[in-house]
Amino acid sequence: MASQKRIAKELAECTSSPPQGMTIKLPNDSDIHKWHVTLEGPEGTVYAGGKFGIIVSLPTDYPFKAPSITFSTRIYHPNVTNDSLGNICLGLLKPENWKPSSRLSSVLEAVRALLVEPQPDDPLEARIADEYRQDRKEFDKNARSYVQRYAKGPVKFESGGGESGGGSTSNTGGGGN
Amino acid sequence: MDTDDDFLSAMSSEDDMLPEDDSENEDMSGVEDFGFDDEPDPDIDMHKEIGAKKRVAYDVSFKVYQPGDIQKQQDDLIDEVNMILDISKEEAAILLRHFRWNKERLIEDYMDRPGKVLDAAGLSRSAAGPPKMETIPGFTCDICCEDGPGLQSFAIKCGHRYCVDCYRHYLSQKIREEGEAARIQCPSEGCSLIIDARSLDILVTPELTERYHELLNRTYVEDKETLKWCPAPDCQNAIECGVKKKDLDRVVPTVSCLCGHRFCFGCILNDHQPAPCELVKKWLKKCADDSETANWISANTKECPKCNSTIEKNGGCNHMTCRKCKHEFCWMCMGLWSEHGTAWYSCNRYEEKSGTEARDAQARSRVSLERYLHYYNRYANHEQSARLDKDIYVKTEKKMVQLQKESGMSWIEVQYLNSASQALQTCRQTLMWTYAFAFYLARNNLTEIFEDNQKDLEMAVEALSAMFEKPVTELADPKLKVEIMDKTSYCNRRRVILLEDTAMNLAEGRWTFNVELTGSGANGGPSTRR
Ligand SMILES: [Zn+2]
Ligand SMILES: [Zn+2]
Ligand SMILES: [Zn+2]
Ligand SMILES: [Zn+2]
Ligand SMILES: [Zn+2]
Ligand SMILES: [Zn+2]
């Protein structure tokens, strides 16, 4: 299979010189289509001090089809669904933008960039996006409390906390401290 | 071949006997042959057009194109731009698609600033030789990471080179899975150069080329406001019509494809004359919203108004006779049929209640529901009757075949039944929409004429429908055959009269509606198909 060689090469590159603030591991050595990435919350952002699990799944048709990226750690962010699915909106991954020459390292860098600078104009969580634009203080507070609640301690990679999510975008109110 | 001829003559009973090709829509005969030149005048004035060609008011000019025609039109435009701008055909094609086939604008912009136009369309300016497959020593494909010796590779003008297998895989995914054709970019991240047709011809397998050209044809049709796909399933034809979106409050542009499907060019729904697209949209929404209230009406059974025994409707005819007490009544209004036969008193007309009755809000809402139900009842009834008429026809046809075998009648001789069935379908479809139209119509000095036309058509249709339900042995009677043929052409004639009147008044803005028509009501059905 053509994609094996390409994935092996990318994996080697990403493990030897990983993108900033990330560690990459295979949960199952015999399956190079699933990666577990641990991302440290970038310094100087509300996510600093947290560790976030990111699951990278490479389709059989990779690199002709885009990888799928989800957060396994809950995160309070306009571009990530506020549920156990942790779906993320990245322009780079949309079929019309994805190119087979695109690299996973640049995808991961784009994810990190999104934590540094959220894109409220292209939100998955409209309410959080509004809050980000209109009440930054409140947004910061909620995001930090999410970090405290979910992103401390050992990083979990099993799909989020429980099966209840089901694509809903429930507002959990963020800890309320 | 033109349509200037008085087409009422085309509705005579002789013509109804014409076999096959004319039976579908007598009233539209020859219309397909009349149309635009290849490049329609963008500012065509349809009113002037109608006047100039002495066309009936409800007819619009249109032309049906088959797949080969669509290809030829594109090729002609490409050739023209290729000559005028002195660029390759591949580039001309890409530029035309980029400009949504607006040749004039492309030429103008290109003359002004060629560099900018080429950039915007994803064509680079460097003119290297034509792309070809190459084997380059030391080459590694950036997509699959293969680097074996003899690995064939390919690059378009930008020089981003990948192995041929990866290129093919990429293209087949774009073409087959994503239905992309006109704007496939170079596989390199961040490179927006569009892969030209010649490169595609080099790379893709024949069965993919076919799909690719099919998709290119689609973009050609979908990019042009004057072109739309025939929505009939499996039909590959496109229709050209100059009626614009902004005209839709003045005309109901009904077109008819070579495949026999008749539809509205404005909203792609089935023929809904005389109601303008926007009213149709409003009406359908209202019916969907109020479906529960209205459901009981379209039920197949009702009670005889005299003896209360259950009566089932199994034919299209609305003249009901109770089996038990022989009471004759009208299915639509449940009134006495005897009063319908001569004058059709006011079965089609909703009598507005005087103001005194509708003082309080509750009474008003009851009146408004009653009014809606009056029109919905008749609308739904014609829809249902058209279906039932068709069932009867199918059954009759079977029996006729039987009869022919026994009596030695030739097949052609029973074509009149097919014509009659077609007329019933078409007229009931028109009648159906007259009720939606009437629901939104505000009274003025013209509504009475409309209602009279509606009534006349309805009476004619019910009479034909009743003849249709006669037993087969009677149908074979030559006298009844002549009667049916006469009634068929009479129905068609009444329909034409009604449509002419409504279309003329619509074109001249003489109707007043009790809702506002913005003229942008029909945002065209799904015009994109893949
Ligand atoms: Zn390759
Ligand atoms: Zn390129
Ligand atoms: Zn068709
Ligand atoms: Zn329409
Ligand atoms: Zn009865
Ligand atoms: Zn009646």
What would the mean pLDDT of B428-445 be, rounded to a whole number?
94
Which of chain B's residues have a Cβ under 8 Å away from the Cβ of A5? 144-146
Highest mean pLDDT among B193-197, B284-288, B308-312, B366-370: B284-288
A92: in domain: yes
Q: Quick check: helix, strand or coil at residue B282? A: helix
- Burial level of B35, CB count in 10 A (0-12/13-18/19+)? middle
Determine the pLDDT at residue B194. 85
Determine the pLDDT at residue B410. 66
Determine the pLDDT at residue B125. 59
Q: What is the DSSP letter of B33?
A: G
Kindly tell me if the per-residue pLDDT of B61 is higher than 70. Answer: yes
Q: Quick check: helix, strand or coil at residue A177? A: coil
Residue of A nearest to B161 (CA): A101
A174: in domain: no
Closest Cβ opposite residue A101 in set B169, B173, B189? B189
DSSP letter for each residue of B375-429: HHHHHHHHHHHHHHHHHHHHHHHHHHHHHHHHH---GGGGHHHHHHHHHHHHHHH
For the stretch B285-301, pLDDT in tens is 888 877 656 555 545 66
Determine the pLDDT at residue B516. 82
Which of chain B's residues have a Cβ under 8 Å away from the Cβ of A11? none
Distance of CA A93 to the CA centre of its chain: 12
What would the mean pLDDT of A22-28 be, rounded to a whole number?
92
A36: in domain: yes
What spacing in Å lies between the alpha carbon of B281 and ligand 4's midpoint?
Answer: 8
pLDDT band at B343 (very low <50, low <70, confident <90, very high): low
pLDDT band at B124 (very low <50, low <70, confident <90, very high): low
Closest CA to B184 of B291, B325, B289, B90: B90
Residues in contact with B191: Cβ distance below 8 Å, sequence separation at least 6, in sequence order: A99, B158, B160, B185
Strand ranges in B130-235 using DSSP code E only, listed in sequence order: 134-135, 152-154, 162-163, 227-229
Neighbours of B107 (CB within 10 A): 17
A176: in domain: no
- Burial level of A61, CB count in 10 A (0-12/13-18/19+)? middle
pLDDT band at B478 (very low <50, low <70, confident <90, very high): confident
What would the mean pLDDT of B409-415 be, rounded to a whole number?
68
Residues in contact with B431: Cβ distance below 8 Å, sequence separation at least 6, in sequence order: B378, B382, B454, B457, B458, B461
Closest Cβ opposite residue B170 in set A6, A64, A102? A64
What would the mean pLDDT of B259-275 be, rounded to a whole number?
94
For the stretch B206-253, pLDDT in tens is 878 888 877 877 888 888 889 999 999 889 899 999 998 888 999 999
A101–B187 CB contact, under 8 Å: yes
* Separation of alpha carbons B104 and B110, rounded Å: 10
Residues above pLDDT 90, as percent of chain B: 35
Ligand with minimal distance to B278 CA: 4
For the stretch B357-366, pLDDT in tens is 545 666 666 6
Asked, as a colleague might, if the bond just before A18 is cis with ω within 30 of 0, I would say: no
Determine the pLDDT at residue B4. 39
Kindly tell me if the per-residue pLDDT of B262 is higher than 90. Answer: yes
Closest Cβ opposite residue B170 in set A3, A100, A103? A100
Closest Cβ opposite residue B145 in set A6, A96, A106? A6
A37 φ, ψ to 5°?
-115, 130
What would the mean pLDDT of B268-273 be, rounded to a whole number?
94
For the stretch A108-159, pLDDT in tens is 999 999 999 999 988 889 899 999 999 999 999 999 999 999 999 888 887 5
What would the mean pLDDT of B22-43 be, rounded to a whole number?
39
Which of chain B's residues have a Cβ under 8 Å away from the Cβ of A3? 144
Kindly tell me if the per-residue pLDDT of B525 is higher than 90. Answer: no
User: Tokens 């990429």 correspond to what residue?
Assistant: B170
Determine the pLDDT at residue A3. 81
What spacing in Å lies between the alpha carbon of B320 and ligand 5's midpoint?
Answer: 10
Q: What is the CATH number of the domain that holds A140?
A: 3.10.110.10
What would the mean pLDDT of B44-51 be, rounded to a whole number?
41
Q: pTM higher than 0.90 for the full model?
A: no
What would the mean pLDDT of A64-88 be, rounded to a whole number?
92
Helix axes A2-16, B164-172, angle to 10 degrees: 100
A167: in domain: no
A101–B143 CB contact, under 8 Å: yes
A136-145: long-range contacts at Cβ-Cβ below 8 A with a sequence spacing of 24 or more? A139/A46, A139/A76, A140/A46, A141/A174, A142/A76, A142/A174, A142/A175, A143/A46, A143/A47, A143/A75, A143/A76, A143/A77, A143/A174, A144/A46, A145/A76, A145/A174, A145/A175, A145/A176, A145/A177
Determine the pLDDT at residue A55. 95
Residues in contact with B310: Cβ distance below 8 Å, sequence separation at least 6, in sequence order: B301, B302, B303, B304
Residues above pLDDT 70, as percent of chain B: 77
Kindly tell me if the per-residue pLDDT of A160 is higher than 70. Answer: no
- Is the distance from CB of B376 to CB of B331 less than 8 angstroms? no
* Separation of alpha carbons B95 and B88, rounded Å: 11
What spacing in Å lies between the alpha carbon of B423 and ligand 6's midpoint?
Answer: 21
Determine the pLDDT at residue B290. 75
Show the domain range for A20: 2-150
Kindly tell me if the per-residue pLDDT of A171 is higher than 60. Answer: no
- Total structural domains in chain A? 1
Strands B254-256 and A68-71, by their bridges, are unpaired
Higher per-residue pLDDT: B12 or B499: B499
CATH architecture of B134-204: 2-Layer Sandwich (3.30)
For the stretch B109-123, pLDDT in tens is 999 998 888 877 767
- Domain chopping of chain B, boundaries: 67-120, 134-204, 291-365
Average pLDDT, chain B: 79
Distance of CA B454 to the CA centre of its chain: 23
Higher per-residue pLDDT: B433 or B233: B433
**Residue A162 token pair:** 């429980």
Determine the pLDDT at residue B307. 82
Kindly tell me if the per-residue pLDDT of A166 is higher than 50. Answer: no
Higher per-residue pLDDT: A170 or B203: B203
Q: Is position B259 annotated as part of the catalytic site? A: no
Distance of CA B374 to the CA centre of its chain: 27
Distance of CA B166 to the CA centre of its chain: 42
Instruction: Please identify which of the residues B317, B322, B330, B347 carries the catalytic annotation.
Output: B317
Which of chain A's residues have a Cβ under 8 Å away from the Cβ of B174? none
pLDDT band at B5 (very low <50, low <70, confident <90, very high): very low
State whether residue B153 sits within 8 Å of chain A by CB.
no
Kindly tell me if the per-residue pLDDT of B27 is higher than 60. Answer: no
What spacing in Å lies between the alpha carbon of B107 and ligand 6's midpoint?
Answer: 62
State whether residue A11 sits within 8 Å of chain B by CB.
no
Asked which of A47-51, B470-474, B499-503 is least confident by mean pLDDT, the reply is B470-474
pLDDT band at A34 (very low <50, low <70, confident <90, very high): very high
**Residue A116 token pair:** 């540094």
Strands B301-303 and B310-312, by their bridges, are antiparallel
Asked, as a colleague might, if the bond just before B478 is cis with ω within 30 of 0, I would say: no
* Separation of alpha carbons B183 and B100, rounded Å: 12
What spacing in Å lies between the alpha carbon of B313 and ligand 5's midpoint?
Answer: 14
**Residue B257 token pair:** 């494809």
A163: in domain: no
Kindly tell me if the per-residue pLDDT of B149 is higher than 90. Answer: no
Determine the pLDDT at residue A98. 92
Higher per-residue pLDDT: B458 or B351: B458
A177: in domain: no
